[in-house]
Amino acid sequence: MNLLNLFQGIATLFYQEPKIAIARVVLIFLGILLVYLGKKGTLEPLIMVPMGFGMLAINAGVLFMSATQTGNIFIDPMMSDTDGLMNIMQIDFLQPIYTLTFSNGLIACIVFMGIGVLADVGNVLRFPFTSMLIAMFAELGTIATFPIAHAMGLSYGEAAAISIVGGADGPMVLFTSLMLAKDLFVPITIVAYLYLSLTYGGYPFLIRLLVPKELRGIVVKTSKKNDVSNGEKVAFDLIACTALCLLFPVAAPLFLSFFLGNAIKEVGIIKYTEMIENTFLYWATFFLGLLLGVLCEASTILNPKILILLILGMLALLLSGIGGIIGGYVVYLINRKQFNPAIGIAGVSCVPTTAKVAQKEVQHVNKKAIILQYAMGANICGVITTAILTGIYITLIPMLSK
Amino acid sequence: MNESVLIALEVYLVGFCISILIAALIKGMHAVLQHVNKKKQPEETKESEVSA
């Protein structure tokens, strides 16, 4: 008896093609690195720790399914046949979660509902035009990356899915790639989450590079009184949800999740708010991380398009950051130089990270400058504009393909 | 390439119009609700004066 066959994770390394075996080893180490960076705080630990463990376990735990076939007992993302799916759901322990929550976008919607609970739309109601204008400028990456991606050989659907990374909203990228680029949704979503974690580190440098110190210290007028009532916020949720669902029914689950989450908080249903914030959101984030890790199987990741996606994801986020700051300058000029252009970066949604990044950078220069009201307004509008562009892409692209 | 640039511009233009429309809706709704609240307030103070 060959002793190696007793330890199939190792035996399969010698049986598989060398490039797959090498990729498996690399991914095991990458998984360990992600957990380390998550623990250190360089990357978002809520996503990176389960993702890193999932990545290393799926690539280490490969076994012989038959004499000639290797596989795993975690998940089979490519299974679509109903009978096969029912069988596999009884064997692969993560398959039920994947089939019933991940591949239909439910997990993305739950995360989005959580974002809705955390978001305060009061600042959007205070400064609607300023916030929307900045947010639309901060969609530069979502728009400009599309033709570049197409020129680099991606289909319209794939190009739209990777462009949405510029919106800096993880659930939205997942939702778009599931709708438009099902074959590439694993690498696209992984690229998105990796880069979104790096946003915390990269954007401060972009602000320092593009906004001179004297402009970064500008104090903006803020509203001290609580002039937006809960009723107004709920009315906004109702109007915006109805209007956007009427315009883009394909993205209606996303709109419903976000505005329902926000309305639940504003209505004051504490039990639901706590349930979504403490249970649903953490449950969804945990399984999102774990499933993304488990989907990083060597054969899936060895897609020749992955390098293109890595470049385009970075480009999309960079362009969106630049666009946001251009938006900040436009509002600065419209307001006769009484506006802080650094607020522009908050238009890149990534709630509430980019708003915090802007506030931190401004306070480095001027300790008295409080810009958080404007920054949070632009931040929430960033979520709304990304959802609008997602809605347009997933409505338009299938029409073009026909 | 040209077609994809046109698609991107089209997406942006539609997105921009909808965003501005939503901002206008918010502004309008905010103004109406504040007007209604202002009207309500004097009536409420009148009522409280009467009951006092």
Q: Where are the domains of chain A?
A: 1-73, 106-401
First to last CA, chain A: 57
- Residues 272-331 of chain A with CB under 8 A from chain B are none
Q: Give B27's contacts in chain A (Cβ within 8 Å).
A: 128-129
Q: Are A160 and A180 in contact (CB under 8 A)?
A: yes
Residues 6+ apart with CB under 8 A from A175: A105, A108, A109, A251, A253, A254, A390
Asked if A185 is an interface residue toward chain B (Cβ–Cβ < 8 A), one would say no
Q: Give A239's contacts in chain B (Cβ within 8 Å).
A: 25-26, 29
Identify the CA nearest to A154 among candidates A361, A288, A312, A376.
A312
* A301 token code pair: 């990741």
Asked if A375 is an interface residue toward chain B (Cβ–Cβ < 8 A), one would say no
Asked if A389 is an interface residue toward chain B (Cβ–Cβ < 8 A), one would say yes
ipTM > 0.90 (yes/no): no
Show pLDDT as tens, one digit a residue, over chain A (402 residues). Answer: 677 778 889 999 988 889 999 999 999 999 999 999 999 988 888 889 999 999 999 999 999 888 888 888 999 887 878 898 999 999 999 999 999 998 888 998 999 899 899 888 888 888 899 999 999 999 999 999 999 999 999 999 999 999 999 988 888 898 899 889 988 888 888 888 878 777 767 889 999 999 999 899 888 887 766 778 888 899 989 988 998 899 888 889 989 999 999 999 999 999 999 999 999 999 999 999 999 899 888 877 777 888 899 899 999 999 999 999 999 999 999 988 889 999 999 999 877 888 888 999 999 998 888 888 899 999 999 989 999 999 999 999 999 876
SS3 of residue A297 by DSSP? coil
Distances (CA, A) of A49 to A169, A365, A385: 19, 35, 30
Asked if A392 is an interface residue toward chain B (Cβ–Cβ < 8 A), one would say yes
Distances (CA, A) of A54 to A26, A27, A140, A221, B39: 14, 10, 34, 47, 59
Measured between CA atoms, the residue of chain A closest to residue B2 is A147
